[in-house]
Structure 1
């Protein structure tokens, strides 16, 4: 009987219940809130749901699926990871080695139509202007005593409203903040329809929002085929650090536009994209351990990330106003807000706000130009930050 009681006592001591503390319980609550937002409110559920569950798994006491200490040193002991690591440790190598985000970009490239951007190259300027929020926020964050330059760069990239890019930069510059940055990035991407309209309306007049733009010219197939090749060459030569993201994005687009590898396009759009999304989400969520997530820095990330996103939207709209003046009223400034890269949600918001002012207006295709330009712009901004700080 005594042996039986000792066994029960030992089981109780070794159980996760005995190791629970208030920090773990708070992380359970945060994970539950994110799961609720993903399911009930459909806030970027494809990634927010696995991120939230990865956060739950990593904070379960004694489960030993992820060991953040394996990745805190400059040099990773891969033998230790493979021998002593749990499931999420092994899957996280795809994040740490920079494999998952470029593969996500491959799938995005297969689903992206760069036609509106090719038809109206001026959209590149709007996509570039919307990245202003990244660099303004970097300057502010770097000036604060709470963050290093590398952390400031990782936080600022949230302003690009591009989750894979934010993860790609954070895993290099500030891996200990990866979970917080990923949650903030995808939360703000989901909140585009809430955050952007007040900024757009505050910076434009009703007359400007009512502008009806001319129909875009048709784009030939040869233009669509040459575009990804030319962009890859120019961007990768100018900013080599952006090469992995840009190369995979444009490879996917080239496969789509070539029309000769339909099977590969379907695989990249569906099976590959879905598998990588699961691995990426769960392992990024696993980095959000209680000791790392429940700090003042996380609150700063939420605030600075919001500021970066708002500033990016404002910069795009303001350049749109300049174009409105220069073209004597031919450009609707609202399309500038779509340059923040949240495809296609930001373009839909431009369309919605434009139609509120003028029910006959149709801005969607015009806004898609800056929107896809923002994808390129955020990748270039990421390359710049990695080149300077990495």
Structure 2
């Protein structure tokens, strides 16, 4: 009886927990607090944080690998084997639930599906109405290539550096997609860093935006954008898919799914499909991707110098991308007649619509009657395209 009790105690998580797991559990609880109490993108942060919590509870097994074993099924197995008859069977122990869900990340399935949903939810009219917005979206991708160079300097290989740099696009699906192709061994820290920083955009961006602009610039009132025809909205996703795919075939999957989702929305002939892509499918994939990404942050993998370097470079990528967008908008004001509010430049990172909402919030804090949200959506959706194009360039160069 005593042995049974001892065996039972030894199977309890509390006697097997390590200090690393305790640290990760605390981190996951902090992220849950930020998501629930402070409202920092709960749709992203809650699944990620809870997945992180589950995978770091000792002996939970949610991220266990399926293990294959070769078993001898009879004492005469050797003799049978000599005679050409197999006396062995291949058995497999079941892996953890979240390990199987994580295959959707590793195999590059979830990211394109997220892009499908984003396309079905996104209105490209602000970008079509003001094509100059694409320059702001392109400028914000500067953080990707700056961080790529920084990662090379720190000793990462070209493929790993490219995967780390894409964090600066503020686009979790793109970061996951590129990393699975170039540096799958870094998928866990890069995915968690990308999604965590996406959720923390309202904290990261405003100080940079205020530091680089004057009150007068933050109060610039922009003129109303022109109306965009239905025909233009339909032609746009088709044209972008063709042009980008011909120039960068490696970006065809992400751009194609993004534009396919948008075409479902704008065509007017596929309302049911558009509704499914933007609601039910998007919600399901977000849950699966979020919780599996969070579960990949196991203490044994996550608490390392390399991971800390990746998180540091991720902050750099976000900061440089935000700054580049704002500074390019200021440059446009020196060249163009029609002034733009530099705050919309920060929306050039790909976090849709978070970055655009942050631009609007900072503008209204200075001038309560100033509405720049729709103007910020132009560079914001341009940033989605820009990050996918940047991923295509990196994949073409180092894939």
Q: Using structure 1 for the length normalisation, give the TM-score.
A: 0.90
Q: Which among 193, 196, 220 is matched to residue 202 of structure 2? A: 193
> Where does residue 110 of structure 2 map in the other structure?
100
Displacement of 1:60: 2.9
Change in Cα spacing, 1:39 to 1:250, as seen in structure 2 (3 Å) is same
Change in Cα spacing, 1:338 to 1:22, as seen in structure 2 (3 Å) is same
Q: Is the CA contact (8 Å cut-off) linking 2:65 and 2:96 kept in structure 1?
A: no
Q: Which among 289, 296, 311 is matched to residue 287 of structure 1? A: 296
Q: Is the CA contact (8 Å cut-off) linking 2:136 and 2:328 kept in structure 1?
A: yes
Unaligned runs of 5+ in 1: 71-79
Q: d(CA) in 2 for partners of 1:64 and 1:192?
A: 32
Change in Cα spacing, 1:12 to 1:193, as seen in structure 2 (3 Å) is closer
1:124 has 2:121 as partner: no
- After superposition, what is the alpha-carbon deviation per residue over 1:229-253, rounded to whole angstroms, capped at 9, x for unaligned? 0111111121222111111111110
Q: d(CA) in 2 for partners of 1:242 and 1:359?
A: 40
1:324 has 2:333 as partner: yes
> Where does residue 381 of structure 2 map in the other structure?
372
- After superposition, what is the alpha-carbon deviation per residue over 1:282-306, rounded to whole angstroms, capped at 9, x for unaligned? 2112211111111112221222111
Q: d(CA) in 1 for partners of 2:265 and 2:234?
A: 9
State the secondary structure of the residue aligned to 1:98.
Answer: coil
Displacement of 1:56: 2.1
Report the aligned-residue RMSD.
2.1
State the secondary structure of the residue aligned to 1:35.
Answer: helix
The within-5 A match list for 1:266-305 is: 266-305=275-314
More helix by share: 1
Q: Which among 85, 96, 112 is matched to residue 95 of structure 2? A: 85
**Mean Cα deviation higher: 44-53 or 262-271:** 44-53
> Where does residue 203 of structure 1 map in the other structure?
212
Q: d(CA) in 2 for partners of 1:192 and 1:345?
A: 7
Q: d(CA) in 2 for partners of 1:187 and 1:128?
A: 23
Which consecutive aligned stretches of 4+ in structure 1 deviate over 6 angstroms post-superposition?
none
- After superposition, what is the alpha-carbon deviation per residue over 1:335-383, rounded to whole angstroms, capped at 9, x for unaligned? 2111012212222222233344444432221111101000100111112
1:16 has 2:25 as partner: no
Q: Is the CA contact (8 Å cut-off) linking 1:213 and 1:332 kept in structure 2?
A: yes
**Mean Cα deviation higher: 286-295 or 346-355:** 346-355
Change in Cα spacing, 1:179 to 1:68, as seen in structure 2 (3 Å) is farther
Change in Cα spacing, 1:125 to 1:338, as seen in structure 2 (3 Å) is same
State the secondary structure of the residue aligned to 2:278.
Answer: helix
State the secondary structure of the residue aligned to 1:307.
Answer: helix
Displacement of 1:40: 1.6
State the secondary structure of the residue aligned to 1:42.
Answer: coil
> Where does residue 77 of structure 2 map in the other structure?
none
Q: Is the CA contact (8 Å cut-off) linking 1:162 and 1:378 kept in structure 2?
A: yes
Change in Cα spacing, 1:385 to 1:214, as seen in structure 2 (3 Å) is same
> Where does residue 65 of structure 1 map in the other structure?
62
**Mean Cα deviation higher: 207-216 or 365-374:** 207-216
Number of aligned residue pairs: 377
1:114 has 2:124 as partner: yes
State the secondary structure of the residue aligned to 2:370.
Answer: coil
The within-5 A match list for 1:172-321 is: 172-321=181-330
Q: Is the CA contact (8 Å cut-off) linking 1:44 and 1:187 kept in structure 2?
A: no
Q: d(CA) in 1 for partners of 2:40 and 2:61?
A: 29
Displacement of 1:308: 0.6
Q: Using structure 2 for the length normalisation, give the TM-score.
A: 0.88
Displacement of 1:82: 7.6
Displacement of 1:333: 2.2
> Where does residue 74 of structure 1 map in the other structure?
none
Q: Is the CA contact (8 Å cut-off) linking 1:208 and 1:329 kept in structure 2?
A: no
**Mean Cα deviation higher: 112-121 or 267-276:** 267-276
State the secondary structure of the residue aligned to 1:168.
Answer: helix
Q: Is the CA contact (8 Å cut-off) linking 1:82 and 1:90 kept in structure 2?
A: no
